[in-house]
Amino acid sequence: MRFICLLRYRFFVWAGLFPYLLGSAVAFHYFPRFSLPLFLWGLAGVVFALIAIEAFNESFEAGTDTLFSLQSGRPAPRWMLPLALFCLAVAGLIALYLSSLRGWPIFVFALLGAAAAAFYVGPPVRWAYRGAGETVIALSYGPIMICGAYYLQARSLDARPLLISLAPAFLIAALAVANELPDYHQDSLVGKRNLVVRLGREKAARLLALLLDLAYIGLGAAIIADAAPPLGGLFFITFPVAYLFGRRAIKNWDRPAKLLSAIRATMGLFLTANLLLILLFLLHD
C-alpha cells in the first residue's frame, strides 16, 4: 500500500520525462539528423525543472494533502524553496544556451514550463487554487513538452507534434482529476478550489470519464491526419480498461478508497500511450 501511495504522489515528477522522450522520438522519426548532445542538454533541463516542481510543491503545500507530498502535516525543510529556485535557475540557463543554438522558440517553451512549475501552487498565481491547475498540467505534459522537444531537434513548428500531444495531454488531465477526487474534503478545507472542488465530486468523476474518452479521440485524429503511425491504433485495445474505470469512478465518486483503482489505471494508460508511441516512432520506417 505504501508503494501505491508513493507512486500516486510522485508520479507527476518522473512521468514528466515521457512527453519529452515522445517529442524527441517524433523528431528522430521525421528528421534523421538527430543531435544526441542537444537531446541530452534538453533532458537535463527537463530533469532540473521536474525537481523544481517537486520542491515548489513541498514548499508551498506543506501541511495539506497534495499531489506530491507524502509528509502531510509536516513543515517543509527550510532548504526546499532555495532548492526549487536553484533548479529552476539551472533549467533556465540550459534553456538560454539551447536558445542560442536553436532559436528563441526554445526559450518561449521553457518560459511557459517555468510559469507552470513555479506557479502551480506558488504565489501569487497558484493555478491549482484557481481551477486552472488541471489545464496547466495538461498543457505542460502535452503540447509544451512534446512540441518543445520536437522543435529542439527539428527547428520547426508544425501540426504533427501538436496532434500527437493530444492523447498524453487528455490522459494526464484525467489523472490530475482522478488524484483530486479522494482529496476533495482536504482541498476544500485549505481553499484549494481545483476543478473537483468547483464542480463537485459527481460531476468531476464524469469529467474524468470524458477526458479518458477524449484521449482516444485525440489519438485517432493524429492517426487519421497521418501524424502518428497507424500501429498507434494498438492503443485502442486498452479502451475497455479506460471505459470500465471511468464508469467505476462515476459509480464510486463518494467512496475514495474505491477510486484508487481508477487512479492506477489512468497512470497505466498514460505510460502505455507514451511508451507505445515512442517505440513506434523509433522503429517505424
Q: Report whether pLDDT(60) > 50.
A: yes
In this prediction, residue 227 has a pLDDT band, given cuts at 50, 70 and 90, of very high
pTM: 0.89
Query: What pLDDT shows up at residue 7?
Result: 44
Other C-beta atoms lying within 10 Å of the C-beta of residue 77: 14
Tell me the percentage of the chain whose pLDDT exceeds 70.
91
- pLDDT digits 0-9 by tens, 84-129: 899 999 999 999 999 999 999 999 999 999 998 888 888 888 888 8
> Is 98 domain-assigned?
yes
pLDDT of residue 153: 94
Residues 154, 24 contacting (CB under 8 angstroms): no
Q: How many CB atoms lie within 10 A of CB 43?
A: 16
- When pLDDT is cut at 50, 70 and 90, the band that residue 277 belongs to is very high
- d(C-alpha 267, C-alpha 202), whole Å: 21
- Of the pLDDT bands very low, low, confident and very high (cuts 50, 70, 90), residue 76 is low
pLDDT over 50 (residue 68):
no
Distance CA 206, CA 7 (A): 24
Burial 190-218 (b: 16+ CB within 10 A, else e): eebbbbbbeeebeebbbbbbebbbbbbeb
**Which CATH number does the domain housing residue 122 bear?**
1.10.600
For residue 182, is the peptide bond before it cis, meaning its omega torsion is within 30 degrees of 0? no
Residue 158 sits in which domain range? 6-283
Whether 163 maps to a domain, the answer reads yes
Query: Residue 81 — pLDDT band, cuts 50, 70, 90?
Result: confident
pLDDT of residue 189: 82
> What per-residue confidence (pLDDT) applies to 65?
46
Q: Is residue 68 part of a domain?
A: yes
Output the pLDDT for position 41.
96
Asked, for residue 1, whether it belongs to a domain, the answer is: no
- pLDDT band for 3, please (50, 70, 90 cuts): very low
Residue 2's pLDDT is 43
pLDDT in tens, 180-220: 888 888 888 877 888 898 988 889 999 999 999 999 999 99
* pLDDT at residue 11, as a whole number: 72
Least confident of 8-22, 60-74, 260-274: 60-74
- The whole-angstrom separation of Cα 149 and Cα 146 is 5
110: Cβ contacts below 8 Å, ≥ 6 apart? 45, 91, 92, 95, 99, 148
Crossing angle of helices 17-30/36-60, nearest 10°?
160
Alpha helices in the chain (DSSP H): 2-14, 17-30, 36-60, 80-102, 105-119, 133-139, 145-154, 159-164, 166-180, 184-189, 195-199, 201-224, 239-251, 260-283
82 within some domain: yes
Structural domain count, the chain:
1
List all residues 6 or more positions away from 169 whose beta carbon is below 8 Å from its beta carbon: 138, 139, 141, 142, 143, 218
Instruction: Flag whether pLDDT at 270 surpasses 50.
Output: yes
Query: Is residue 258 in a domain?
Result: yes
- Cα distances (angstroms) measured from residue 151 to each of 46, 48, 67, 158: 15, 19, 30, 9
**Cell numbers representing residue 213 in the block:** 474518452
Q: Of the ranges 42-46, 69-73, 162-166, 272-276, which one carries the lowest mean pLDDT score? A: 69-73
For the cut 90, the answer to whether the pLDDT of residue 78 exceeds it is no
Does 48 map to a domain?
yes
Quick one: CA dihedral 16, 19, 24, 29, positive or negative?
positive
* Confidence (pLDDT) at 285: 66
Give the chain's length: 285
What is the band of 255 on the pLDDT scale with cuts at 50, 70, 90? confident
Nearest C-alpha neighbor of 160 from the set 40, 284, 282, 281: 281
* Reported confidence tier of residue 13, pLDDT bands at 50, 70, 90: confident
What was the pLDDT predicted at 136? Answer: 92
Q: What is the pLDDT of residue 148?
A: 95
What's the CA gap between 150 and 219, in Å, rounded? 18
- Residue 261, domain member (yes or no): yes
